[in-house]
């Protein structure tokens, strides 16, 4: 049975959410896309300790949409981490093009 324990005012839960759309123009199959996304997701998880999942465009073999989530007690840390993840993805592979991204930080829990 779960019990409700109120947070102290000094404690804060900050959640950074980012949706990234990628294009892989040279990719020719879903198997190739899965290989690229699995490799990229694993590298991002290991380097930044964030959650990563493919959240849309699952049937498209040249477009991928990733959801990335970071949780911290510091909104500054969340913003810096998510920004670093976006930059890492943008510069990590020549066969993957960052088409766009949206980012939001939810604070105050």
Reported pTM: 0.79
Task: Say which CATH number the domain at 20 has.
Answer: 3.30.70.1120
Say if residue 25 is exposed, middle or buried (CB neighbours under 10 Å; 0-12, 13-18, 19+).
exposed
Q: Does residue 56 fall inside a structural domain?
A: yes
Domain range for 61: 14-106
6 in any annotated domain:
no
Would you write out the chain's pLDDT as a tens digit for each of its 109 residues? 565 555 554 568 889 999 999 999 888 888 888 999 999 999 999 999 999 998 887 778 889 999 999 998 888 899 999 999 999 998 888 888 999 999 988 887 6
Number of domains in the chain: 1
Pairing state between β 97-106 and 51-56: unpaired
In a domain, 5, yes or no: no
């Amino acid at each position: 049975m779960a019990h409700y324990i109120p947070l102290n005012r000094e404690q804060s839960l900050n959640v950074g959410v980012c949706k990234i759309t990628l294009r892989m123009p040279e990719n020719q199959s879903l198997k190739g896309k899965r290989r690229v996304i699995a490799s990229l997701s694993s590298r991002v998880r290991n380097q930044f300790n964030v959650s990563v999942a493919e959240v849309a465009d699952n049937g498209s073999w040249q477009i991928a949409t990733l959801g990335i989530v970071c949780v911290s007690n510091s909104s500054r840390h969340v913003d810096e981490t998510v920004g670093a993840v976006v930059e890492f993805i943008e510069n990590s592979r020549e066969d993957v093009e960052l088409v766009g991204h949206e980012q939001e930080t939810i604070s105050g829990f």
